[in-house]
Structure 1
Amino acid sequence: MRVMGFPAGMFQTNCYVIARDGERNCVVIDPGQDALPALRSVFEEHELAPVAVVLTHGHLDHMWSAQPLCDEHGIPAFIHAEDRGMLSDPASGIGPQLSGFIQGMEFIEPGTVKDIQDGDVIELAGIELRFAHAPGHTKGSVIARTQVDTDAGPRDIVFSGDTLFAGGIGRSDLPGGDADQLLRSIRETLLVLDDGTTVLPGHGGATTIGHERATNPFLR
């Protein structure tokens, strides 16, 4: 499997493109602000065609470009039902203090939206994605896990959104956030994974479950 990623927009939100080796179809994870030009370059350079958008949660910096991308290619967006309302009302997820910078902007849902539920196993572009509901950062945050073959054998990769970062955890002070619930989600959905699991977060660099288990000050 190929995993390509880049930080997008003023929030530097990691947008990922995943595809099976030698295949044209791909999945886009968290297309944030200003992600479309870079995505089009990735599609052209690697001869890829997106078949779905997966959103780890509904915050504006992760879903900003979902609607134009989905509607341009006629593809669905996958999001947990608890966060779906943010697709058309992003201010509800960031609160009045932060919503001023999108005042006057209009956001609408993609033409096709599909719900993610805890425990779902969904195959997209020939890639099996296993989802777990991980509330705390938002009510509808999810993590998505898949497996890749390496020279050392199979290895899990988890897209953690804003639940877990390298050396940090997601904020819980925005509407729908809950600090205690966030830590429970990390414990129950992420720290149960093997230490060698690669974590690709919504912001910042990659890490592993083992490294965060041993060094992340928020998890002690």
Structure 2
Amino acid sequence: MILERLSVGVYGANCYIIGDEKNNEAAVVDPGGDADEILKVLKEKELHLKYILLTHGHGDHIGGLKELKEKTNAPVYIHEKDHAMLQDSNKNFSSRMGGPVVEMAADQFLEEGHSLSLGELTLEIIHTPGHTQGCVCIHIGNVVLTGDTLFANSIGRTDLEGGNHQQIIQSIKEKLMTLDENTTVFPGHGPATKIGVEKTTNPYIR
């Protein structure tokens, strides 16, 4: 598996490029900005973009979406509960973040238990509401991309529209902490961590 992490956009959010080495299919997760850099990596790795996946609809995770979609025509996926946010720059905050203003419709919806094939890879969708109602995590073998649900030693904020503190804790405990302890967590901001590390050290979920 190819896994590239880029720090993109005004807020330096993590964007991930997942690729299958055998057939060169790729998914971009959370293109928060700098679409030219994302496209450059895809070209360098000779990857064909099959999916654009959004862990949620906030502006710092979608800033490069419009350009990436226009230049690749890859389908955009988001959970249905964040779809209205994606289409409204006031709801997704892109109108006030200092980057591109984004108002777009998705092509497909992500659902709990849904899986996407990427060559020989299987991308499993986990619905983890709490930061927003449509937050999802993406589980691929011994890796999980957690967006703004779980960070190293922290969790996503819940004081914005659609946020719910009790719900995010429940999502993390019931759906992420049940993964293998050696699973590597790649969050939407900051460094990677491990499920086992967060189980024992994260002050929000111990």
Q: Deviations over 1:10-38 (max 9, x none)?
A: 2111000011124322110000022x121
Residue 165 of structure 1 aligns to which amino acid in structure 2? F
Structure 1 residues 119, 92: closer, same or farther in 2, change over 3 A? same
| Matched residue, 1:27 | 27
Gaps of 5+ in 1: 148-155
Cα offset, 1:101, TM superposition: 4.3
| Matched residue, 1:185 | 171
Separation (CA, whole Å) in 1 of partners of 2:16 and 2:98: 24
Structure 1 residues 102, 6: closer, same or farther in 2, change over 3 A? closer
Separation (CA, whole Å) in 1 of partners of 2:38 and 2:102: 20
Structure 1 runs (4+) deviating above 6 angstroms are none
Matched, 1:144 2:152: no
Cα offset, 1:126, TM superposition: 4.0
Matched, 1:85 2:84: yes
Superposed CA RMSD in Å reads 1.8
| Matched residue, 1:107 | 102
Residue 169 of structure 1 aligns to which amino acid in structure 2? I
Note if contact 2:20-2:118 (Cα within 8 Å) is conserved in structure 1: no
| Matched residue, 1:129 | 123
SS in 1 for 2:170: helix
Separation (CA, whole Å) in 2 of partners of 1:62 and 1:101: 11
Note if contact 1:159-1:199 (Cα within 8 Å) is conserved in structure 2: yes
Note if contact 1:93-1:175 (Cα within 8 Å) is conserved in structure 2: no
SS in 2 for 1:3: strand
Q: Percent identity?
A: 38
| Matched residue, 1:48 | 47
Cα offset, 1:218, TM superposition: 1.1
* TM-score, length of structure 2 as denominator length: 0.93
SS in 2 for 1:219: coil
Gaps of 5+ in 2: none
SS in 2 for 1:4: strand
How many aligned residue pairs are there? 206
Residue 145 of structure 2 aligns to which amino acid in structure 1? F
| Matched residue, 1:167 | 153
Separation (CA, whole Å) in 2 of partners of 1:26 and 1:18: 5
Residue 146 of structure 2 aligns to which amino acid in structure 1? S
| Matched residue, 1:206 | 192
Residue 143 of structure 1 aligns to which amino acid in structure 2? C
When structure 1 is superposed on structure 2, of 124-133 and 37-46 the one drifting more is: 124-133
Separation (CA, whole Å) in 1 of partners of 2:87 and 2:98: 12
Residue 205 of structure 1 aligns to which amino acid in structure 2? P
Note if contact 1:197-1:209 (Cα within 8 Å) is conserved in structure 2: yes
| Matched residue, 1:119 | 113
Separation (CA, whole Å) in 1 of partners of 2:92 and 2:160: 7
SS in 1 for 2:91: helix
When structure 1 is superposed on structure 2, of 20-29 and 5-14 the one drifting more is: 20-29
Structure 1 residues 200, 211: closer, same or farther in 2, change over 3 A? same
Note if contact 2:113-2:126 (Cα within 8 Å) is conserved in structure 1: yes
Note if contact 1:51-1:125 (Cα within 8 Å) is conserved in structure 2: no
Separation (CA, whole Å) in 2 of partners of 1:61 and 1:10: 7
Separation (CA, whole Å) in 2 of partners of 1:106 and 1:203: 21
